[in-house]
Structure 1
Amino acid sequence: PVPLLRPAPVPQVAPERELSVVWYGHASTLVEVEGHRVLIDPVWSDRCSPSASFGPRRLHEPPVRLDELPPVDAILISHDHYDHLDMATVGELTRRQSAPFLVPLGVGAHLDRWGVPEDRIVELDWSQCHRVGGLEITATAAQHFSGRGLRRDGTLWSSWVIAGAHRRVFYTGDSGYFDGYAEIGAEHGPFDVTLMQIGAYDRAWAGIHMFPEEAVAAHLDLRGELLLPVHWATFNLALHDWAEPVDRLWAEAKARDVRIAVPRPGERVVVDDPPPVDGWWQAVA
């Protein structure tokens, strides 16, 4: 079994510039930056599929229930694939949270059909931004595609920049490696932490999902400080072993002197503390 941890409690009075990340599994992540909380690509369902009976099933339970999440200030969606946009999870968050959903162009139509109030849907094109409290959140480019069911590319996909007064976070969404990372790094970087997609790769679709070695290269292009891998260990979406992505990432990061954190699902990482990298996945695999 993939080991889970309950997230450590956040101090009632967190340091003004503190930045932390809780990875819940796959791409679902909570970023806590300068007193604000941003929830990214939340998927709590048992399967990432239009069916509750068929499709990729979770390798581990979510480390917390949706009703145990703290209040969040924004919910980001990178694109409308089932492993990033989950109808049941969106419905629960609509009832339990009051935060706006920030989504790429066209994705708001899904949320509207699922009962999300119009005033909680913010659609952004690449390079557009939206302020949430003290954060500026910007939709940035990615090299991927979109679609649910038989329809394809009717909505946009994006990566995201979360910028506070002092700290900056980048999330890839799903993407192949491309020149846009250097452009994003030049315009929005440097980043205190990058949340990098590393799993579900294959030579047949190298243009839309990065290999782990490319994730390290993209992190350097972005001018990132700490690399935290996402999009692995929860759903089996490719032919490689579930733990292979992080093994390859760890080797490449060590070779290129890149600082990485590999938390267990649910483990809270304070970006300025020594990062957790203890090889826990090797003992499980």
Structure 2
Amino acid sequence: MTPTLSVRRLAWAGVEIRLGDTRLLIDPLENVAPLAPVMGPPHRPVDPVDTPPGTHALITHLHPDHYDHDLIARIAATGTIGCHTPSAAALHEVGITPVAQDLGQSRRIGELTVIPVTSLDWRGNDCDQVAWVVEGAGRRVIHCGDTQWHGSWWQIARDHGPFDVAFVPVNGVIAHFEGYAANVP
């Protein structure tokens, strides 16, 4: 019997992907305290994330709504933490040893293959952000982190599509940062 790929939404941008004995979390989040000054309290409760041995994680970028340091450190104790190569040094500085990947570089995590692809946030900052393509059991999932529309979508679709499931930001910019403003018509 072929194992089934299962996907479950977690809090905020978090996603859990399972295939057989392989459990992968992308941008898991428990600690919302750093977000309160920028976005206020969450609209829904944020549940604790179960992290049994062998849980692995991928990080799209190091903003506190996608990177929960304490949770990632807990996962790193028994699993791997994947990141885009430019983010690796910052993780090393805080005691996390990541598996760094360049854009387009594939890696196996148990029964899954993970590949970082281009991402671009609302400020035009793409140097440290990625979307993740996850493949397994004949299925493809893309988790886009904070990306907005950019010119690399066509290449991502040609290289890695079609996708069975796509997790994309849909709410638009709701935060206010000094020196940045969302374009509001």
Normalization by structure 1: what TM-score?
0.55
Cα distance change, pair 74–91 in 1 and its aligned pair in 2 (3 A): closer
Cα distance change, pair 92–35 in 1 and its aligned pair in 2 (3 A): closer
In structure 1, what is the equivalent of residue 24 of structure 2?
38
- Please give the alpha-carbon distance, in whole angstroms, between the structure 1 residues aligned to 2:159 and 2:18: 23
Residues 39 and 72 in structure 1, CA contact (< 8 A), matched pair in contact too? no
In structure 2, what is the equivalent of residue 271 of structure 1?
none
Equivalent position SS for 2:2:
coil
- Is 1:62–2:34 an aligned residue pair? no
| Pairing of 1:1-285 with structure 2 (within 5 A) | 16-49=2-35, 54-56=37-39, 57-63=41-47, 65-66=48-49, 68-95=50-77, 98-116=78-96, 118=97, 121-144=98-121, 156-201=128-173, 205=182
- Please give the alpha-carbon distance, in whole angstroms, between the structure 2 residues aligned to 1:135 and 1:30: 12
Query: How many residues get paired?
Result: 177
Cα distance change, pair 199–71 in 1 and its aligned pair in 2 (3 A): farther
**Cα deviation, residue 192, structure 1:** 1.5
Residues 139 and 159 in structure 1, CA contact (< 8 A), matched pair in contact too? yes
Render the CA deviation track for 1:115-174: whole Å, top value 9, x for unaligned: 22x3xx11112111211122221010012279xxxxxx6951100111124111111111
Render the CA deviation track for 1:228-265: whole Å, top value 9, x for unaligned: xxxxxxxxxxx9xxxxxxxxxxxxxxxxxxxxxxxxxx
**Cα deviation, residue 205, structure 1:** 3.9
Cα distance change, pair 154–175 in 1 and its aligned pair in 2 (3 A): closer
Equivalent position SS for 1:30:
strand
Equivalent position SS for 1:25:
coil
If asked which structure has higher relative contact order (CA below 8 Å, sep 6+), I would say 1
Cα distance change, pair 194–17 in 1 and its aligned pair in 2 (3 A): farther
Question: Which structure dedicates a bigger proportion of its chain to helix?
Answer: 1
Q: Which has the larger radius of gyration?
A: 1
**Cα deviation, residue 100, structure 1:** 0.8
**Structure 1 unaligned regions, length at least 5:** 1-14, 147-152, 207-238, 240-285
**Cα deviation, residue 48, structure 1:** 3.4
Task: Quote the sequence identity (%).
Answer: 25
Amino acid at match of 1:114: V
Q: CA RMSD in A?
A: 2.8
Render the CA deviation track for 1:170-208: whole Å, top value 9, x for unaligned: 111111112322221111111111111112337x546xx
User: Does 85-94 or 24-33 show the bigger shift?
Assistant: 85-94
Amino acid at match of 2:14: S
Residues 16 and 35 in structure 1, CA contact (< 8 A), matched pair in contact too? no
Cα distance change, pair 54–178 in 1 and its aligned pair in 2 (3 A): closer
